[in-house]
Structure 1
Amino acid sequence: MKHIKIQLETTHSEHKTSFPITTSYWQELWDTYTTDFSSVEIHCWKEEPKHMEELEKIASLIQDQNLIIAYTVTLNEENREFLRNNSIDENGGLKWFTLLFYKETTQMLEIGQYGSEISLYGIDEKEAETFKAIFPEDVESEYFKEHLM
């Protein structure tokens, strides 16, 4: 499947590694690219109980996967608003390690490393350039014409 992968410049803190220096893209990403998605699977490290508690309240499915807990959240209006407006950690980056967005059963968007690695699937080169434009100018990106999922 065709896709673009974005890699943002990262930093770290005492409690978190490899998170983006800026999350200025977050609201535009939500408003423009997640509206057609039906659900999101959010992976959270077990060492982050504060962030896990928020997800437990809105998850339709919770799976223990050893080191992480995977929360599946149906993207209704209320959950979309919560995730759009409450995903940024006070230390920077996203609260959760990975977010996998689905359109029905097909993964369409992957946000990893607390928001520093982002892949949008099923787009052509022109759409990839438009997507890249929501991120800082110095962002690293690569467009793939083929990808086996």
Structure 2
Amino acid sequence: MQKNIIIYIPVYTEENSSFPKTVIGNYNYWLHVVDYFLRKSDCVEIHCWNEEKNIIEEIKSQFYPEIEIRKEDNLTIFHGKTTAAFSHYLCNSKTNKDGELKWFTVNLLKEESIVFHSSHWGTEIFVPDVIEKEISFIKSVSPKDAQMEIY
């Protein structure tokens, strides 16, 4: 039977910052889950805040015109096919110079349905329609203090 899983990663914020940092200090859990679900996806969608100009330019310079770029009120949204280059970018360029995840939201899609959703810079993850084997895998790579809801 398929279930949904939500994972909340323990975070803290430094003084004068609103950026959530993982208590464990890395995004290894995120990388493992993304790597697994990239293989099940055919599209990648990244959401960045418009003020994150360096990240927006980085994505544009590497993937435009192969990706669609859409601007909303405060967001720039990139949508493109899951290619080897895009997969490599997500898995190998995930953090900025401060070691923080670069992207506010990452969605992996299959035929326009979400197979993986990461928000709040990788500190909240939602994965729909997973089987017990996948739940066990996600649990095995998640931080021990992560909160999970499975339904």
Task: State the TM-score, normalizing by the size of structure 1.
Answer: 0.86
1:74 corresponds, among 51, 70, 81, to 81
Between the two proteins, the alignment pairs up a number of residues equal to: 144
2-side partners of 1:143 and 1:81: how far apart? 29
Specify the alignment match of 1:40 in structure 2.
44
Structure 1 position 124, deviation (Å):
3.1
Ranges of 4+ aligned residues in structure 1 off by more than 4 Å = 13-16
Specify the alignment match of 1:29 in structure 2.
33
Instruction: List per-residue Cα deviations over 1:106-129 (Å, max 9, x = no partner).
Output: 111100000000111111345323
Residues 39-118 of structure 1 aligned to structure 2 (within 5 Å): 39-57=43-61, 58-59=63-64, 60-118=67-125
Instruction: List per-residue Cα deviations over 1:10-37 (Å, max 9, x = no partner).
Output: 1234555224233121332233222121
What are the ranges of 5 or more consecutive residues in structure 1 without an aligned counterpart?
145-149
1:20 corresponds, among 19, 22, 47, to 22
2-side partners of 1:82 and 1:5: how far apart? 24
Mean CA deviation greater in 10-19 or 61-70: 10-19
Specify the alignment match of 1:138 in structure 2.
145
Structure 1 position 105, deviation (Å):
1.4
Go from structure 1 to structure 2 and tell me whether the alpha carbon gap of 1:15 and 1:54 turns closer, same or farther (over 3 Å shift).
farther
Question: RMSD between aligned alpha carbons?
Answer: 1.8
Task: State the TM-score, normalizing by the size of structure 2.
Answer: 0.85
The residue type equivalent to 1:17 in the other structure is F
1-side partners of 2:133 and 2:32: how far apart? 18
1-side partners of 2:132 and 2:100: how far apart? 27
Specify the alignment match of 1:129 in structure 2.
136
Specify the alignment match of 2:5 in structure 1.
4
Specify the alignment match of 1:147 in structure 2.
none
2-side partners of 1:52 and 1:30: how far apart? 20
